[in-house]
């Protein structure tokens, strides 16, 4: 298969030196890229601003902001069979960006606007021969929200991932499918999980 993977955070500029971001390390996406290449697939990795080590035989595209990620996914997805959205894309960005560095002093108010829903955008243009997989980082036990994301984003598989495992070297997850099936995957390291998820991605085409 031709697999498109997104990984890492996005940084949303406030001024030339400051940004809004999150704590994503990119480790999950790097593990998925490793697992996919080991399984013989052609991989494109869209990587946010992190230093995660990636396989040398992966086509890597570095992105910075949610807008960069959005444009890159919609450009690359038509040439791929499977999209795995493992990136922790920012939900909000500053509505306006200061052209000069804001100097310290007083208070500062930043008005935010919602960023694009990239997985939903990919789901809207998905062909019958393509599949999409997303991650749902939510509070522990909130499977209803993950199921709602699965439906709204027209995904073929959603990985429920409890919030308290963020920034960990391990992952505890439940796989959710559109037909109502679920698969519990108890706590394991990200490399082991990545191998399983790539296998489940392959099965979506059968």
Choose, from 22, 34, 79, 98, the residue flagged as catalytic: 22
* Residue found by looking up tokens 């995660």 in the block: 52
Q: Which of 135, 110, 114, 121 is nearest to 73 (CA)?
A: 121
Catalytic residue flag (residue 22): yes
Cα separations in angstroms, 191 against 42, 80, 171: 18, 23, 10
CB 65 within 8 A of CB 91: no
E strand or H helix that includes residue 36: helix 27-38
Q: Which of 169, 125, 128, 131 is nearest to 150 (CA)?
A: 131
The catalytic residue positions are 22
């Amino acid at each position: 298969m031709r697999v498109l993977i997104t990984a890492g955070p996005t940084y949303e500029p406030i001024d030339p030196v400051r940004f809004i971001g999150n704590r994503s390390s990119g480790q999950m996406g790097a593990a998925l890229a490793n697992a996919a290449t080991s399984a013989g697939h052609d991989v494109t990795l869209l990587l946010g601003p992190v230093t995660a080590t990636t396989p040398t035989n992966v086509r890597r595209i570095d992105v910075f902001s949610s807008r960069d990620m959005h444009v890159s996914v919609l450009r690359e997805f038509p040439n791929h069979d499977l999209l795995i959205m493992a990136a922790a894309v920012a939900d909000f960005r500053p509505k306006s960006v200061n052209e000069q560095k804001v100097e310290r002093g007083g208070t500062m108010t930043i008005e935010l606007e919602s960023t694009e829903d990239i997985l939903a955008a990919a789901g809207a243009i998905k062909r019958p021969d393509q599949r999409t997989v997303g991650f749902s980082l939510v509070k522990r036990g909130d499977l209803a929200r993950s199921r709602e994301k699965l439906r709204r984003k027209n995904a073929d598989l959603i990985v429920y991932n409890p919030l308290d495992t963020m920034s960990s070297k391990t992952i505890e997850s439940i796989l959710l499918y559109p037909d109502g099936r679920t698969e519990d995957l108890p706590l394991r390291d990200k490399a082991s999980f990545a191998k399983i998820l790539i296998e489940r991605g392959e099965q979506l085409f059968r």
